Amino acid sequence: MSTLTPFHLAIPVHDLALCRNFYTNVLNFEEGRSSNHWVDYNFFGHQLVIHLKEEELTKAPTKSVDGKNVPIPHFGVVLPWASFHNFAELIKSKQIEFIIEPYIRFEGLVGEQATMFFKDPSGNALEFKAFKDMSQLFAK
């Protein structure tokens, strides 16, 4: 695999102050540049930008995966195994409601991974995952 470079993702939020509090004080992401209409965040080394879009976001559809209703669309990041579990504990301690609580997929198989889903206050679905063996990220 080649050296990875940071991605940039901009997402809409309907209440900038509420979501700024969520990403800064709940998820503990470092804030970067900002204006009255957007805020940059260090999203595990990637650039996440929340942009004010005052209309309420529509409810995202779901797709059944492993018998769980996975929101589509969603975004997130693949973390190292220990970092995932530490972050999952932080999320639990903040009493964030999970869409899908942390669990292990493909346990003991190729591609074994931990995953969890939750939403931000604007309804953006986030997934965080970790592979037991990162070399199996794209394994079949």
Domain-located, residue 34: yes
Residue 3: inside a domain: no
Tell me, what CATH number does 81's domain have? 3.10.180.10
pTM of the model: 0.90
Tokens describing residue 67: 């018998």
- Confidence at residue 33, expressed as pLDDT on a 0 to 100 scale: 97
Give domain status of residue 48, yes or no: yes
- The answer to the question of residue 15 being in a domain is yes
pLDDT tens sequence for the chain (140 residues) = 568 899 999 999 999 999 999 999 999 999 999 999 999 999 999 999 999 997 766 666 888 888 888 988 999 999 999 999 999 999 999 999 999 999 999 999 999 999 999 999 999 999 999 999 999 999 88
What is residue 116's three-state secondary structure?
strand
